[in-house]
Structure 1
């Protein structure tokens, strides 16, 4: 986005569950790429990435995830689920609503997880994947297993959100919660109060608290999944492989997820895959290092073509 999009620049499309608000740029006949944001962030993570990809002749779609910004549920009876299967299903529903048969997907945090799920469960719809922090499909069956104490400390909000005090705290001050998470996630990112306030508009969505709370309670085994996603969750419990061309990224200044060489998750990527470390980047990698993120999207397209069978390139 050469300038930060104002609400009037947003488009809307309906799926079976959501009215999804999204920003679009780039040529309409270009390869489509979905850029998917995380929590507690929004589409402004891609302010600088989107125009870079448009220059590479990508049709760029940047949607607000469920519970964020102007994306709304169509029915009051629809469960306000934030579980991983719901996020992944939303990706495919968005492609269907846009009448896009195949697309590249790229993201971090919640958006990276949604992209991973789409690539694993619907690989025929996904041309290539860019994922920050590697393989992000949650092993919910192992959620009770502890991790290193230093990592647990960074996940303070996971456990806070298990309590009604945490729900109330998020509802009362979502921007304050985000500020603490941003500082921990990206200790070298000099974000401003203006940056935070701009993104915090996405937290005023009436379903924001319910979707976020359900996401963290479900992933830790403290809330059941919504019935419409039961079959998808059963498939995700098997930790399916990702067969599409993939580039994974780790920021060397990620405060919660230390950068790796990618080997620990290699078994989950059954197609061509490259792993890169991005110097100085924290958890919100596309906003902190937009050129590195855009380069990964460009390069995953090249990786796909290099590994395509003859006659399908």
Structure 2
């Protein structure tokens, strides 16, 4: 475990492999999870001669805010800013960015806001930042997708904070079971993530992540301009690979293929992993690592 200190955070991160002449890889985890989600994939990338960095997102695991005065924002613009600062601290000018769930949205934001820092893009599970742009085209997900997103509506309510503070691990366990119905995770693996979710700022960051910036008391004013830019759904110009589990219980496969590829101007391909749920990198590390390496090596 290593860390970098920025103006707001001490960002803890896992490293996989030694730095080489190959393009470095940023591995961004999702919700509710931590950077250990990438351990097995990271190990396989390292064995193939790659160098990967997997940070713990703000509010999670050993990553800590430096001041109690800093807004506990979970907004995607803030998360993308953290990745830029981590790359700066590690003297990485440009990287391949791979993200799952929250990490996928953060990766998209990074590609939109700082295209010069992203060589290639891989998103696991859906296209969260493009949903409103797709709605504007007159396309709508199924009612099953709205039902699967029940927790997002809960997070807007007054009972969300006390529920999360009382039993964050219980929610995480339930979501893992619902989102990856065929996956039997070990208690050891889950216990490690539950400890990360006990970070004192996790609840505030989570609630912030699911609220519109203008209704979020934790939104950081320094990200306002970036948030407005993201709301316009700027095109993504990097070559992009989308990996999707056919049994994903929250990002339903059919509803993540509603024309979002039109927003990717640098080439877009999608790989569907049959029998796999939401946590692809945990469930199918061999298959995910192979697909990543194949994509990285493409001209």
> Normalization by structure 2: what TM-score?
0.92
Q: Give the 3 Å change call, closer, same or farther, for CA 281–87 of structure 1 in structure 2.
A: same
CA apart distance, 1:139: 5.1
Residue 279 of structure 2 corresponds to 284
Residue 118 of structure 2 corresponds to 126
Q: 1: CA distance between counterparts of 2:295 and 2:229?
A: 26
Aligned length: 293
Describe the superposition over 1:114-145 as per-residue Cα deviations: whole angstroms up to 9, x where unpaired: 111111221111111110134332556979x9
Matched, 1:250 2:241: no
Q: Give the 3 Å change call, closer, same or farther, for CA 140–68 of structure 1 in structure 2.
A: farther
Matched, 1:65 2:73: no
CA apart distance, 1:16: 2.1
Residue 189 of structure 1 corresponds to 183
Matched, 1:301 2:296: yes
| Aligned with 1:36 (options 5, 21, 28) | 28
| Aligned with 1:101 (options 93, 98, 121) | 93
Matched, 1:89 2:81: yes
| Aligned with 1:19 (options 3, 7, 10) | 10
Describe the superposition over 1:209-268 as per-residue Cα deviations: whole angstroms up to 9, x where unpaired: 11001111237x642632110110111011011111111111011011222484621111
| Aligned with 1:47 (options 16, 39, 57) | 39
**Structure 1 spans left out of the alignment, 5+ residues:** 1-9, 307-313
| Aligned with 2:216 (options 206, 217, 223) | 223
**Alignment of structure 1 residues 112-261 onto 2, 5 Å:** 112-137=104-129, 147-218=141-212, 222-223=215-216, 225-260=219-254
The runs of at least 4 aligned residues of structure 1 exceeding 2 Å deviation read: 133-136, 138-143, 145-149, 192-195, 221-226, 260-263
Q: 2: CA distance between counterparts of 1:290 and 1:109?
A: 16
CA apart distance, 1:151: 1.7
Q: Give the 3 Å change call, closer, same or farther, for CA 146–174 of structure 1 in structure 2.
A: farther
Q: 2: CA distance between counterparts of 1:240 and 1:296?
A: 27
Question: Residue 139 of structure 1 contacts residue 237 of structure 1 at CA under 8 Å; is this kept in 2?
Answer: no
SS at match of 1:137: helix
| Aligned with 1:274 (options 264, 269, 272) | 269
Task: Decide which moves more: 272-281 or 105-114.
Answer: 272-281
Q: 2: CA distance between counterparts of 1:135 and 1:212?
A: 19
Q: 1: CA distance between counterparts of 2:283 and 2:202?
A: 24
SS at match of 2:97: strand
Q: 2: CA distance between counterparts of 1:296 and 1:87?
A: 26
